[in-house]
Amino acid sequence: MWGYDHAWSLHEIIPYKLVNVIIPGMLAIIAFVVIAVGIYTVIGYIIYIVGLFYYKEFFDVYSLDVLVISIFLLTWFADNMTFIKLNLVVVFFMIQGIYLLTRMISRFSGRGYW
């Protein structure tokens, strides 16, 4: 497997001092960039697929209401919620996840929303 150790071990083979340091360093940087771009591409594609599913199935006024009300309540009562040990952004995403899970269960169970 071609990794940083293998790229850096090239300095033993190359006879020129300046190229001896530049080529293995550049190969290590290129390997890091390729791995990072690959990881971010996969994460971006997953976010795109989830966002597309959300847009097709749940993008309406009810979702907007829950979003705005949960942001309002979390910012208004943030100082009073000292019993919550999580970050408020995590709490916000948990509220949205519970809302979407409840809505998915009620929508795909065949009974509709009400």
How many Cβ atoms sit within 10 Å of the Cβ of residue 7? Answer: 19
Residue type, 92: F
Task: Provide the number of structural domains found in the chain.
Answer: 2
Q: Sorting pLDDT into bands at 50, 70 and 90, what band is 3?
A: low
For residue range 68-106, what is the model confidence (pLDDT) as tens digits?
898 898 888 888 877 877 788 888 889 888 988 888 887
Question: Within 10 A of 10 (CB to CB), how many other CB atoms are there?
Answer: 15
Q: Which range marks the domain in which residue 28 is found?
A: 1-58
* Same domain as 9, residue 54: yes
Residues 52 and 64 in one domain: no
Residue 110: how many CB atoms within 10 A of its CB? Answer: 6
* Whether 84 and 65 share a structural domain: yes
- Residue 84 structure tokens: 């919550």
**Does 66 lie in the same domain as 44?**
no
Threshold 0.95, pTM exceeds = no
Alpha-carbon gap, residue 76 to 88, rounded angstroms:
12
Give pLDDT tens digits for 54-63: 888 778 888 8
- pLDDT score for 43: 97
Mean pLDDT of the chain: 80
**What are the pLDDT digits (tens) for 10-41?**
666 666 666 667 777 788 899 999 999 999 99
Tokens 């993008």 map to which residue?
A: 59
Residues 68 and 45 in one domain: no
Q: What is the C-alpha separation between 98 and 66, in angstroms, rounded?
A: 11
pLDDT level of residue 1 (50, 70, 90 thresholds): very low
Note whether 54 and 92 are same-domain residues: no
